[in-house]
Amino acid sequence: MSARHLSPNDPAFAGLPTADHEWTSDDWQQLLHWLIESGILTYKDVTALVLGHLNPPQVGTSIASKKTFQAHFPPRKTWQAVRAWFYQQRGKCEDCGARLELQADHVETRQDYGDQADRLDNMLLRCRRCNVIRRPSHAQGGLTFLTAEAALMWILLIKRPRTYQEFEGMCRDYGMTMANIRFQEAWAMAHWLEDDGSYTIDPSSSL
Ligand SMILES: [Zn+2]
């Protein structure tokens, strides 16, 4: 353990901006160091996971398997066309520039154009989060740059709710619209870290 960081309830986290989109690179670095120095993760864990997510997603093969795209090409020529489209992309989210968790997204939406939207010249790459927040149901989810499951762990580890009820309220306040069962599942991490002495759950917690 290094001298600099950080007990589980360290006030250093309390001084950080309360919405992750305001975090600086240094803040993220501090969290990453803490995750490793606290023994929750190893550098190998983090790096191997990132490498796996850096691998180009199965976006091309998924498009090529759809009948609506196949309809534009001669039999068994779809993958060739999709591959050419895939290679022409920048390999980054069109909105935020991220290389991780890329998905194919429609320019003209399927909602408006139906199957006619399924054309290669109508597709581009966006990261999962930028893709999701364009949907009407997520219009006000502007507090986070994280995917939903990442935001659940960010709230747990940074805001350190002491009870499940508090955790659920924080998640709702953060604009998360998923079913409660997802919060309850995520709360398992509080129990697991408590077993290691890295988290404190108040006896008044309902779960
Ligand atoms: Zn993005």
Ligand 1 center to 4 CA (angstroms): 33
Which of 138, 159, 192 is a domain's end point?
A: 138
Which of 123, 138, 153 is a domain's end point?
A: 138
Residue 102 lies in a domain: yes
| Helix, strand or coil, per DSSP, at residue 86 | helix
Residue 187 lies in a domain: yes
- Closest by CA to 24, choosing from 104, 15, 157, 129, is 15
User: Residue 148: its pLDDT value, please?
Assistant: 86
Which of 138, 155, 178 is a domain's end point?
A: 138
Ligand 1 center to 35 CA (angstroms): 24
Residue 80 lies in a domain: yes
Domain that holds residue 66: 56-138
- Closest by CA to 103, choosing from 66, 144, 150, 56, is 56
Residue 115 lies in a domain: yes
Q: What is the pLDDT of residues 84-100, one digit of tens each?
A: 999 999 999 999 999 99
Ligand 1 center to 90 CA (angstroms): 13
Residues 117, 132, single domain; the answer is: yes
Phi, psi of 92 (to 5 degrees): -135, 155
Please report how the helices 43-54 and 25-37 are oriented relative to each other, as an axis angle in degrees rounded to 10. Answer: 130
Residue 205 lies in a domain: yes
Cα distance between residue 173 and residue 195, in whole Å? 28
Residues 150, 191, single domain; the answer is: yes
Ligand 1 center to 95 CA (angstroms): 5
User: Residue 5: its pLDDT value, please?
Assistant: 43
- Domain count for the chain: 2
The answer to whether the CB of 153 falls within 8 A of the CB of 189 is yes
Q: What is the pLDDT of residues 162-191, one digit of tens each?
A: 999 999 999 999 988 899 999 999 999 999
Residues 125, 168, single domain; the answer is: no
Ligand 1 center to 94 CA (angstroms): 7
Ligand 1 center to 127 CA (angstroms): 4
Phi, psi of 63 (to 5 degrees): -60, -45
Residue 27 lies in a domain: no
Residues 101, 86, single domain; the answer is: yes
Residue 14 lies in a domain: no
| Protein residues near ligand 1, an ion, with CB under 5 A | 93, 95-96, 98, 127, 130
User: Residue 15: its pLDDT value, please?
Assistant: 77
Residues 87, 133, single domain; the answer is: yes
